[in-house]
A and B are shown apart, each in its own frame.
Chain A
Amino acid sequence: MVDLLEKHRGIADRFQRMLDMGVNALGVTNDQMISPTRAIVGNREIILAGTNNYMGITFEPSVIAAGQKALAEFGTGTTGSRIANGSFAMHKELEKSLAKFLGLKHCIVFTTGYQANLGMLSGLAGPKDTIYLDADSHSSIYDGCTLSGAKLVRFRHNDAADLDKRMARDDNTEGGKLVVLEGIYSMLGDRAPLADFVALKKKHDFQLLVDDAHSFGVLGPHGRGLGDEAGLEDGVDFVIGTFSKSVGAIGGFGAGNHPLFETLRYAMRPYMFTASSSPASIATSLAALEVLAKEPERRQRLWDNSKRLFDGFRALGLETGTDVVSPVVAVKMPDELTTIAKWNALFEAGVYVNMAVPPGTPNRLCLLRCSVSAAHTPEEIDRIITIFKDVVAA
């Protein structure tokens, strides 16, 4: 008999090597959450610098109250997909509210951002089509691409000239073409040069999708994402996002202006064959969205904190994932063992960051990845910098 799990032996060995160093960076348990930026782990208070809680909105009283109300009035779950069981009024309200926030005509809500990528990519592209995806794309984009059955062509990260070259090589005149970018790339924190990609539309026929998972609520004068920041929203045909980061809840969405957009509901298996988001998730997303729209100062605080952390790390001589200020501040490490050891020392000193290693990172990089929150105080940011100075830069 071939043991099915035997193929994962290598992963088990790699994981064991980390445990042997006395570390389980992938299994931290937050016993108690004190605030968006503090948790109790065991009997210690830890500063959280790896949560993607960009707007620090998870403990917002109005959002919590909305969730509690929905839980009491609509129950714990929807017990089925919207296609089978129908929608709750809140699902539609959230879609309307998001479309308005984004300035787009249509929006479809998914149970997670991962499923939004699976659903949108497989709904938009089929076996006759070609998807061009950035080499540094998130795994959910890769998986959505695979599910679509489309021809998949990968182009060099953030390189519109490389995409141009690859499009010119293509001789598939039959199907459509979809180009997929991310607003802020999750590991290194850099942004897609949107203008370069939109300019290519003059030369090649394609539709453009941006996954704003890390940039929705974060980039642009209205917080709509990369298109908003670049002033190029008209060049972006489809936007994807998640509620798990700046919105502080769980869920995802796809949005656009295409007249056939609503038809996707009947074509996307990851939308049709899974239960819709729970009433509490929908209600908290809706309430959080209101807060984001009403309190643009949160975005300013996020950027102030991001700059403080970025400048602090640079002053220590640490090598960061990108040269521009970003709410994702990743510090490059020489190898996996050093990364594990430094992660552990940071944690012992009281700060939680993400340990990111290949193949989850681009270019085989090992990273100590921080994400900044609007809820971090300047003192907390300074404390993170001091701990990095003692542990990583020393």
Chain B
Amino acid sequence: MKDQPHLTLPRGGVSRRAFLKGSGATAAAAAAISGTTAVEAAESRATFVAAETVSIELRVNGAMHKVTVEPRTTLLDVLRYRLDLTGAKPVSIDASSGASTVLIDGKPASANVVLALDCRGKHIQTAESLGGKDPDPVVKAFIKHDAMQCGFCTPGFVVAVRAFLDQHPNATKEQILNGLNGNLCRCGTYANVIMAALDAAKGGK
């Protein structure tokens, strides 16, 4: 775990541009901290992002972690840079790749568009929690059906399939083809992922 030194940034509002540029942060969260509405904050003249750092506790893969975050810090940044859990990947600026999929209270979410602040009190699970000595049946099925090539999209895909099968334990091929389109793979592992998901649906929990 490598905690980066953190600067306390100047107080002030949040510029519209800062909203747009700040690694997936949303106006609402910054506003929530500064006590203004998003619109007011966006209209403010100050140049820098309001960033009083806040110390929070996050429950990740069953363990509690104390981290200091800025309002704009995403869950993905906390996972990757503070907790060194790098299974969730930064691929898109929005949720369109699925590469940073994690489970928040059992539901799939793209960690790059979720603010760390909003995760207080929630149970976060990453792909790493599905591995280990006795891997989750979905991980096993991915290995058996070789549903990976470069592997960069794979942890996100594994978590998405886990979440999908939790919702549809007896998923049919039809359901899989319709329900797992949120994850992007450039190497073209979809055919293998379909096989893996079907197998896990049948043999898994």
Please indicate whether A and B come from the same complex rather than being unrelated chains: no
Interface residues of A (CB under 8 A from B): none
Interface residue ranges, B against A (CB under 8 Å): none
